[in-house]
Structure 1
Amino acid sequence: SAPDDIYSMITNADLKFPSIKDADGNEVELSEGRYIQFMENRDRRVRRDAFETLYGTYNKQRNTLATCLMSSVKKDIFLSRARHYPTSRAFYLDDNNIPEAVYDQLIEVVHEHNPLVHRYMRLRKEALGFGDLHMYDIYTPIVKGVDIKVPFEEAKKTVAVGMAPLGPDYVKALADGMDGGWIDVPENQGKTTGAYCASVYPGPPFVLLNYNDSLDDMFTLAHEMGHAMHGWYSFKHQPHIYSGHRIFLAEVASTLNECLLLDHLIKKATDKTTRLYLLNHYLEQFRGTVFRQTMFAEFEQIIHAKVEGGEALGADALSAIYHDLNVAYYGPEMTVDAPIDLEWGRIPHFYMPFYVYQYATGFSAAVALSQQILKEGAPAVKRYINFLSSGESKYPIDTLKDAGVDMTSPEPVRMALEVFRNTLAEMENLLER
């Protein structure tokens, strides 16, 4: 764990970010926590300053960060060779009995659909009215004037209604959990940030939120309750030894809840602006979870293969690989600014080898399952409830096959990206009206 520990100390303790001026001209200290807030600011100067300042700070440690990452990669290679695996990727995927073809197919299918991201970037550029689009424009909201407030009691009811396609038994258990003390709801002094679900056999799950009445907070509630219900069903139907679930499956249940909630909200949206906001929310989920995480997975694969082949990779080589991937994934509409080439230095998941691809496969499986549930009804719901109840009684690939999604085939990812295509087309049509 030494490379990871050193990386954590550098990025969490040693890196000090300068201050930048906010939209009102006030000096505000930049931090990783504030970075996304700055990147969502409507003032382009603020976004550019935050972007250049953050990566300028990482640039000062680029050689140390490269050495940390390469030490981690060499550790992965040593462990795989000591256990007689052909590659480090084969070693780490075998832990969950995942065929390497799953990894390859994910990258291949996403490559096939990268032109959709290029199209989305063109839409973003036109909607924002920019002559050119930069990496610091990615998080800027396309839809203006939307500030939907959802009090927690209303959010509980909306989430429950949104889960109606999963049947009355699921909805009742979900509602009972939301009303039954499973959730620590508000922000409090000394309370950790973010949102989490902890499921400890045999008791009820525990969900931590920091709820602030936003639409995103309601999606977070649906997401975390998806994790909670996964644990609840597994605990009911499996002995302790099989009651957990691997990360390959963990994000399926949570993301499926978000998909169903989004479908419900889009269907009941009565005005164009709200509908556009929801469609863009979905597109951003795809961009961030399928395309971006697959790009990370491809970066991991490339650097491990190069080092396994005897190459030495320093900061410049890592940045060149990362730059080329950004160009390929974002396309000609995006100006791939030089500072983003160092983003590999701020991704902690690269110290969890061959892990991030599971975010993309999990999201794709969730979208595919949600489409089956909405179109087939009861048969798909029965398969899905059995999936939630299976825990670790089978390998993840087999559990998903039983639910109706075969991740050894490229079709689930392809189906999910067709949903992305249709969502993008609907947003394009609405913006043209």
Structure 2
Amino acid sequence: MSQTLPARADVDVRFTWNLADIFPTDDAWRTELNRVRGQVEKLTAFQGRLGESGATLLKLFRLEDELSLSMDKLGNYARRKSDEDTRNPIYQEMSAQFMNLAVSMGEASAFETPELLAIPDEVLEGFFAAEPGLEHYRLAVQRVRRQKEHTLSKDCEALLAAAGPMSQAPDDIFSMLNDADMVFPDAVDTDGKPHPVTHGTFVPLLQSADRTLRQSAFQSLYSVYGQFRNTSAAILSSQMKQLQFFAAARHYPSALHASLDQTEVPVDIYHNLIAAVRENLPAMHDYVRLRKRLLGVEDLHFYDLYTPMVAGQDVKVDYEEAKQLALDALAPMGEDYLALLREGFQNRWIDVYENQGKRSGAYSAGAYGVHPYVLLNYTDTLDDVFTLVHEMGHALHSYLSNQKQSVTYANYVIFVAEVASTCNEALLMQHLLKTTTDKRRRAYLINHFLEQFRGTLYRQTMFAEFELWCSEQVRQGEALTAEALSAKYRQLNRDYYGEDIVLDDEIALEWARIPHFYYDFYVYQYATGFSAAIALSQRILREGKPAVDDYLAFLSGGCSADPVTLLKGAGVDMASPAPVSDALKLFAELTHELETLCAE
């Protein structure tokens, strides 16, 4: 395939990002790298001095802001250059040099947290009173000091830090087993033709219209996971045990509390998500019944969940059309937002097409003091249009936070990261639904939207419920055997998907292939972010400018407040189950509409 792709040097410059906006040349980057290396000693010079005065603290914080800005530019340039052609040794080396510098910075500033925690409250307040410029950093200081009850003595902290690499072992072992060691038999289609089964091909094979191929791929993959089920259980058990160990060591009541505390998210939000989704499981059961009917199968299996219910609507959308479609769909966001979108399109924020060696997938990377960068591998499909508006949602979130916040408070946390991107996708979907008159195409679009709900809201919540159960089993001293894990996972699939699907033996092993179970209570954020995005898009379409103004304020908030407070300012209270319930109400309505359309 690479022979059909252009070399990086042959790509039309109009469709490449302009990294000269960060550094004009590689040599300019190297000059800045060497300059910043010389700043490390300035950091270490503050060690043992943070309790001296407010002036000393202020000097340190301002130095760190300056270094953060420089490191952001250095890292962005090196990583973006490397992603243009991952085979290029020059940029592999530059990326490695940057990472080495980042490690040195971390080591040089390791003294900061213990010293900040050691300053008595009354002394610290005296520092704020004596040094007005220090007030800007009050929230940052509070975020460190709120961890005081979970911070141990110097010796204990050193011991936990030394144990840190061991805590990565479950994820490392899982990755080796899953990505390096597991090899799956070929699947075969109706004609007996073999198809390679890999992690990359598995879902595309399940999307095939050939049911024989789907079933064969499904059985191929899980036959191998079945062989390693006991090993997989031991790895996942070790992951849960290490999380519980560190949570207990830091005096948290559970691993869930320890994880969510890092991003200032109350644990009630996690529990409310599961409760709200469970209350709306009948809508998922209706969807499963509809899928069974539309596919025309006597028995619906789990390998039937990914193939489109409405086929034959593949549409080609070239990049110029995609940009215009994005502008049209996001028009409800107002002219200020559209002006930024046009700026990104016109001023080479985006690397559009695939070339030899280019990193796969898509992402957005914020760059403080410059502008965001977006990587695409655009192939003229409707899915690529959704990817474009998704990544530009991230990009404009970063742009507005960087514009409105200091470097201290510009970076938003992961809990809100997917909100802006998914809100854009929802607006695009609503635009497409509003502007199509073809019933078959409308049905196809609704099918697409329903799959987002199923995959992001229902499925990720089921993952979140399973992860919580695993954690609680370990906390209570229960064993996580392959049999126990599979029995629980089988029951959750029955609960979530209902009685109208065959509970294939293989699906009970799915827990063994999910890398997110090693990400420390990460998956729930996909579901909460999706719910918040649906609520925000509906409010924008319903209320217009007042909703847009609130939403843009949220996008400009960075981490200037905790994420729940920021979202509440935009009109979404994630402490309430209402956003999740409202999103699933829309899911139920769309399922009913699809059923009606397909009956006509």
The normalised TM-score by structure 1 is 0.99
The correspondence for 2:536, drawn from 369, 391, 412, is: 369
CA distance in 2, matches of 1:144, 1:386: 40
Mapping of residues 119-130 of structure 1, within 5 Å: 119-130=286-297
CA distance change for structure 1 residues 76 and 417 in 2, over 3 Å: closer, same or farther? Answer: same
Selected match of 1:246 from 413, 417, 435: 413
Q: 1:57 aligns with which of 216, 224, 228?
A: 224
Partner of 1:303: 470
Secondary structure, in 3 states, of the residue corresponding to 2:564? helix
Pair 1:34-2:201 in alignment: yes
Tell me which amino acid in the other structure corresponds to 2:562.
Answer: Y
Alignment-mate amino acid for residue 52 of structure 1: Q
1:155 is aligned with what amino acid? A
Asked if structure 1 preserves the Cα contact closer than 8 Å seen for 2:458 and 2:496, the reply is: yes
Choose which of 440, 448, 455 in structure 2 pairs with 1:281: 448
Query: Superposition pairs for residues 313-392 of structure 1, below 5 Å?
Result: 313-392=480-559
Partner residue of 1:137 out of 279, 287, 304: 304
Return the offset for 1:23.
4.7
Could you say what the CA RMSD is over the residues aligned between the two structures, in angstroms? 0.9
Q: Which residue of 2 aligns with 1:185?
A: 352
Q: Which amino acid aligns with 1:202?
A: G
Deviations 1:152-204 (A, max 9, x none): 11000001110000000101111210221111111222112111111121221
Give the equivalent residue in structure 1 for 2:330.
Answer: 163
Structure 2 residue aligned with 1:86 = 253
Residues 92-145 of structure 1: CA distance to partner in whole angstroms, max 9, x if unpaired? 111111111111111011001011010001000100101110000000111121
Partner residue, 1:409: 576
Per-residue deviation at 1:64?
A: 1.2
Change (3 A) 1:23 1:184: farther
Quote the offset at 1:302 in angstroms.
0.6
Determine the structure 2 residue equivalent to 1:9. 176
Q: Specify the code of the residue in structure 2 equivalent to 1:279.
A: I
Q: Which amino acid aligns with 1:277?
A: Y
- Higher relative contact order (Cα pairs below 8 Å, separated by 6+ residues): 1
For residue 226 of structure 1, the aligned residue among 371, 389, 393 is: 393
> Size of the alignment, in residue pairs?
433
Deviation string for 1:267-299 (max 9, x for gaps)? Answer: 001201110011111110000000000000000
Counterpart of 2:436 (choices 261, 269, 275) is 269
- Pairing partner for 1:196 from 346, 360, 363: 363
Matched to 1:183, the amino acid is I
1:76 matched to 2:268? The reply is no
Q: One-letter code of the match for 1:95?
A: Q
Letter paired with 1:281: H
> Following the alignment from structure 1 to structure 2, what is the Cα–Cα distance between the partners of residues 120 and 133?
12
> What SS class does the counterpart of residue 59 from structure 1 fall into?
helix
**Aligned mates of 1:145, 1:14 — CA distance in 2:** 37
Deviations 1:380-427 (A, max 9, x none): 000000000000111101100111111111111111111111111211
Distance 2:445 2:306 in 1: 15
- Runs of 4+ with >4 A deviation: none
Superposed displacement of residue 25, structure 1: 3.1
Whole-Å Cα distance in 2 between the matches of residues 167 and 355 of structure 1?
A: 33
Note if contact 2:554-2:567 (Cα within 8 Å) is conserved in structure 1.
Answer: yes
TM superposition shift of 1:56? 0.7
Give the TM-score normalised by the residue count of structure 2. 0.71
How far has the Cα of 1:307 moved from its partner? 1.1
Asked if 1:96 corresponds to 2:263, the answer is yes
How far apart are 1:431 and its partner, in Å? 1.2
Aligned to 1:293: 460
Query: Quick check: 1:116 aligned with 2:283?
Result: yes
Q: Once structures 1 and 2 are overlaid, which stretch shifts more, 197-206 or 254-263?
A: 197-206
**Amino acid corresponding to residue 444 of structure 2 in structure 1:** Y
Q: Could you tell me how far apart the structure 2 residues matched to 1:319 and 1:61 are?
A: 13
Match of 1:237 in 2: 404
Pairwise CA distance, 1:239: 0.8
Letter in 2 for 1:260: L
What is the rounded CA distance, in whole Å, between the counterparts of 1:178 and 1:356 in structure 2? Answer: 32
Partner of 1:150: 317
Report the AA paired with residue 411 of structure 1.
A
Q: What is the DSSP-based 3-state SS (H/G/I as helix, E as strand, rest coil) of the residue aligned with 1:70?
A: helix
What code does the residue aligned with 2:194 have? E
Whichever residue aligns with residue 363 of structure 1, its letter is F
Gapped runs of 5+ residues in structure 1?
A: none
- Which segments of 5 or more consecutive residues in structure 2 lack a partner in the other structure? 1-167
State how far apart, in whole Å, the 2-side matches of 1:378 and 1:8 are: 47
- Tell me the residue number matched to 2:53: none
In 2, the alpha carbon distance for the partners of 1:241 and 1:61 equals 46
Structure of larger gyration radius:
2
Please give the alpha-carbon distance, in whole angstroms, between the structure 1 residues aligned to 2:269 and 2:290.
31
Q: CA deviation at 1:79?
A: 0.6
Partner of 2:73: none
Q: Secondary structure at the match of 2:280?
A: helix
State the Cα distance separating 1:21 from its structure 2 match.
2.0
